[in-house]
Structure 1
Amino acid sequence: MTLLLPFILFLSGCSVGASVAVNAKKVEYPVSFTDSFYSSDNQLILNGEYESLKDFSFTFTKWGVSSWIEIRNSEDISNRLNKIIENENGDAITNLKISVNNPPVRNGVLWFTKAVAITSSALFTVMAVSDSDRRGGYTAIAAGSTLAALFTPAAVDIKVEGTVIQFHE
């Protein structure tokens, strides 16, 4: 069994983490990752042609599944961005930055759970093959452990930062 441990740890990966696509499909204002952007009439607005009103930042946690099977998970931040701009009487957002962090403590515990599930799956599969008297029970445990390994939950902390701006009149 000790010879299988490095292989099992390799299969489970060095961590667990969720994969999340962050989008803003319904934002009603211009939003740019830089300090310039295009207005609604397709004019390039450069730094100096607007006033910075307020820097903002918000963080949220999104849960997903850490799996070999690709499971799509997304978060639309349009409403949050719209409210931030409206609350400041702004016209757009510049310098938008989105950063992602897999929380090590939370996901470390889940990684351990995943490693135990993979180990259990491998062990009970071998036992089901070798012991025909208890094959059904071992097979059920192996299948349950495999499902637990495939669908281990994981968290991701997402931080969104930027600057609300207002056009010069």
Structure 2
Amino acid sequence: MSHSDAITRVSLKRITPDASAAMGALHGAAVSAARDAKIEPELLELLRIRASQINGCAFCLDMHTKDARAQGETEQRIYALSAWRETPFFTERERAALALTEAVTLVHDGQVPDAVYAEAAGVFDEEQIAALIWAATVINAYNRIAIAQRMAPGAYEPKQKTN
């Protein structure tokens, strides 16, 4: 069955507005924690894209690739993100964040191995690691929400970059 033949899905925002608002508040708290920990917004977009690639969330991929481009991310790095280990395009810091994000996203497969955590701890302090874990957790939750609702990609427009 194609998406065009799919049944209409429930709107979580309409049916459960309090839970949806709580999810939005969690997102806001995670963004604030990342800002306070001095995690670059561009790095957050990379981890959101990578988790969304793993989870197959078209809606979030559309949103976060647009947001990344609006923040100045290059097409080359966005296109290569699914194979980041095989490219020279990402810094040690970005690689550690991406590895941690993948481990959190694929928690069933190795339960965030000590080596991945140690790699992150080598380039991020505790406040930053906590912020990265929250960011990865939130995007994984949003991926599941968007996929369960069959949210359609394409219409999202990013806000203009603010400094």
Q: Which TM-score applies when normalising by structure 1?
A: 0.27
Asked which structure has the greater CA Rg, the reply is 1
Pick the structure with more helix per residue.
2
Pick the structure with more strand per residue.
1
